[in-house]
Structure formats: C-alpha cells, structure tokens
C-alpha cells in the first residue's frame, strides 16, 4: 500500500508540474492584463508602471522561472485584481466549495444509494418507474433554470428560504438542493443498473433460498458488490463539484472557487488562476487516491 501511495504521489506531482507549465503559458497567450485594469484613458506611462509592478515587463521565460522560484517557497504571488496573496483568495473560495461539495455529495450518495437500490429491487414497478422518471429529469435539467425558478417559488412567493447568501443553515437549502439534482439522477441510475445485476447473481439467490430477509439482502449482500462502479461515478461527480459549481455559486452568491476561477480567467488575474488550478488539482489527486483506497476496502480482491 505504501508503495502504491508513493507511486501515486509521484505521478500526481508530475501531472501537477505539467499542469503548471500548460496553464502558465496558455494563460499568458490570452494577452496583457494591463488594459483590463487601467482606465481606457490611462497614459502609456501608467501602463508601463502597472506592468512593472506586476512583473509583466520581463520576457515570458523569465516570468516563468521567477514564478517557479517563488512557487518553491510556496509563494503563489499576489492577485492583480485584489492586491492580496493569490493563495489566500483561492483558499477562501475553496473552503466554501469544499463545504458545498461535501454536503451535497453526502446527501446525493445517501439518497441515491437507497432509492436506486429499492428501485432495482422493485424493477419495473411503480416505485422504479417514478424514481427513473425523476432521476432522468434531474440528470438533464439545466441547473441555472432550476435555480431561478426555485428562488421565485420558494423565496419570493412562499418566503420559506432566503434567495441567496451564506448566513444561516437556511441559506444552504436552495443551493444544495439545486446542486443535488443532477448527480442524484445520474448516480441513482448507476446504482439501479449495478444493483439489478447484483440482485440477479447466484449469491443473492442463495441468500434468498436460505431465508434471509430482503433488507440485508439488498443493503448488505448485493449493495457492497454493486458499489464499485458507483464509487467511480461518485468520484467523477465529486471532482466536478470540487472544480466549482459555477452556475450555482454565481446565482446564490456562494463565494466558491468555481466562480473565482472563471472571473480570474476573464480578468487575466494570472496568479489566482494558477493558484486555483493547483489547489483544485491537488484536491482531486488526493480524492482519487482516497477512492482507490476505498476500492480495496470494498473489494478484498483489489490489492495495491
């Protein structure tokens, strides 16, 4: 296991270096940020001053090596837009994204596994049809539309929950609900399909023949074997959430890393873009390693 972890850490680090290289030069291809930060009427003198302050006057390779030198000291540089350390800006946003992703994925996994398993057990029945119908709608509905409609109904008309913001637990209801719908629909379908296969396997028939009740058959015997493909999809969905739920963050005023990343790209705030990508990439590498470890726990045949 230690060897596996070491190998994964090294390959992740290599990928991270490749990512740094790629993003550094690609982001610079978008052009000079000076025009975006200074007024249109700014003199050439002011523009040169701005470039000097932010190290943009140096040749690109020099900029890159300066950046790497700083990075080794864990100095990600200052945000051009916010005049504060880029890593502070990113970690602040990433904290919100992590919380949002954790709450949403916990609920998604809990409900998708239960509903998907029951739908598979009653395959073709009313419960299965209703679950399939709503999961397909959930997996395909545009979240920006759901978000706006939810605000109009539940906040403006009914006044049950706040429109947006982060102040209380009630502020989390709408964003989590909107984020919940799509991965719930998708994972429910994977659980259902995987469970149908598992429930028709020989060991389940044997368990039934031995008189074991339905609940342990579903949630103990079949589910454990059906979970491997589900874990893979959960990992994909969690990674997508860690990248930031841009639409939901924008609409509900959640100061997460997704919106920050998009804003920073549009504003050519290179240091924040780099820091955001490195932080999210690291988080996804860590999550992938955890998923691999979880595989081996679920299936003793998998050994690293």
Partner 1 sequence: MTRKLHLFMTSALASSVAFGAQAQDNSVTVVLSEELEIVEPCSSTKSNVGRVLFQNISETVTEMDPHTGLQPRLAESWEDKGNGTWRFTLRQGVTFSDGTDMRADDVAHSLVRMKSPDIACEIGAKFFGGIEITPNIIDEYTIDVTANPAQPILPMLMSTVTVTPSDTPLDRFVDHPIGTGPYTFDEYIRGQSITLTANPDYWGEQPTVQSATYVFRADSAVRSAMVAAGEADIAPNIALQDATDPAMDFSYPNSETVFLRIEHAQAPLNDVRVREALNLAVDREAFVGTILADGTLLATGITPPSTIGYDADLKPYPFDQDRARELLEEARADGVAVDTEITLIGRTNNFANVLETMEALLAMYQDVGFNMKLEMVEVAEWLERYAKPFPENRGPQLIEAQHDNANGDPVFSMYFKYHSEGQQSGLTDPVVDAMIADATAATGDKRAEKWSELFGYLHEESIADVMLFHMVGFSRVNERLDFTPSIRTNSELQLSQIQFN
SS in 3 state form for 82-120? CCCEHHHHHHHHHHHHHHHHHHHHHHHHHHHHHHHHHHH
- For residue 161, state whether it binds partner 1 (rule: CB under 8 A): yes
Site mask for partner 1 (CB under 8 A), range 5-34, x = bound: -------------------------xx-x-
Residues contacting residue 304 through CB under 8 Å, at least 6 positions apart: 1, 3, 4, 292, 296
Q: Measured from the CB atom, is 97 or 243 closer to partner 1?
A: 97
Interface with partner 1 in residues 229-268 (CB under 8 A): 250-253, 255, 259, 266, 268
Spatial separation of the C-alpha atoms in residues 184 and 139, rounded to whole Å: 7
Which of 1, 6, 14, 35 contacts partner 1 by CB under 8 A? 35
- For residue 153, state whether it binds partner 1 (rule: CB under 8 A): no
Residues contacting residue 195 through CB under 8 Å, at least 6 positions apart: 116, 117, 120, 121, 218, 222, 223, 226
Q: Measured from the CB atom, is 82 or 208 closer to partner 1?
A: 82
Task: Pick the piece of the chain touching partner 1 (CB under 8 A) from 11-19, 61-69, 103-111, 153-161.
Answer: 153-161
Of 132, 108, 250, residue with least CA distance to 182: 108
Interface with partner 1 in residues 121-150 (CB under 8 A): 148
DSSP-derived letter for residue 11 is H
Question: Torsions phi, psi of 78, nearest 5?
Answer: -95, 145
Interface with partner 1 in residues 49-88 (CB under 8 A): 49-50, 53, 81-84
Task: Pick the piece of the chain touching partner 1 (CB under 8 A) from 108-116, 132-140, 156-164, 228-236.
Answer: 156-164
The Cβ-side half-sphere exposure at 91, using a 13 Å CA radius, reads 6
Q: Measured from the CB atom, is 18 or 35 closer to partner 1?
A: 35
CA angle, 242 then 92 then 139, to 5°? 25
Which of 15, 168, 206, 232 contacts partner 1 by CB under 8 A? 168
CB of 279 to partner 1, least distance (A): 15
Residues contacting residue 171 through CB under 8 Å, at least 6 positions apart: 161, 162, 164, 165, 252
Q: What is the CA radius of gyration of the chain?
A: 24
Task: Pick the piece of the chain touching partner 1 (CB under 8 A) from 64-72, 152-160, 200-208, 210-218.
Answer: 152-160
Residues at the interface with partner 1 (CB under 8 A) = 30-31, 33, 35-43, 45-46, 49-50, 53, 81-84, 89, 92-93, 96, 148, 151-152, 155-156, 158-166, 168, 170, 250-253, 255, 259, 266, 268
């Amino acid at each position: 296991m230690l060897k596996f972890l070491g190998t994964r850490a090294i390959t992740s680090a290599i990928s991270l270096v490749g990512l740094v290289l790629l993003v550094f030069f690609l982001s610079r291809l978008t052009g000079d940020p000076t025009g975006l930060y200074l007024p249109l009427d700014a003199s050439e003198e002011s523009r040169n001053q701005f470039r000097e302050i932010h190290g943009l006057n140096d040749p690109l390779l020099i900029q890159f090596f300066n950046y790497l030198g700083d990075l080794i000291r864990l100095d990600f540089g200052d945000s051009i837009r916010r005049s504060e350390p880029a890593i502070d800006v990113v970690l602040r946003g990433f904290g919100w994204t992590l919380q949002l992703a954790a709450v949403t994925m916990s609920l998604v996994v809990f409900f998708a596994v239960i509903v998907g398993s029951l739908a598979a057990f009653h395959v073709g029945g009313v419960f299965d049809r209703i679950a399939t119908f709503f999961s397909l709608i959930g997996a395909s509905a545009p979240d920006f539309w759901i978000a706006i409609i939810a605000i109009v109904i539940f906040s403006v008309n009914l006044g049950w929950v706040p429109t947006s913001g982060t102040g209380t637990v009630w502020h989390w209801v709408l964003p989590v609900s909107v984020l919940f719908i799509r991965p719930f629909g998708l994972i429910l379908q994977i659980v259902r399909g995987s469970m149908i296969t598992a429930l028709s396997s020989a060991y389940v028939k044997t368990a039934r023949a031995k008189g074991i009740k339905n609940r342990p058959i579903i949630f103990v015997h079949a589910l454990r074997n059906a979970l491997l493909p589900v874990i893979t999809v959960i990992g994909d969905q969690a990674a997508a959430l860690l990248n930031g739920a841009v639409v939901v963050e924008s609409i509900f005023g959640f100061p997460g890393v997704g919106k920050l990343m998009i804003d920073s790209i549009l504003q050519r705030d290179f240091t924040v873009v780099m820091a955001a990508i490195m932080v999210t990439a690291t988080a996804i590498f860590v999550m992938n390693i955890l998923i691999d470890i979880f595989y081996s726990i679920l299936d003793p045949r998998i050994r690293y």
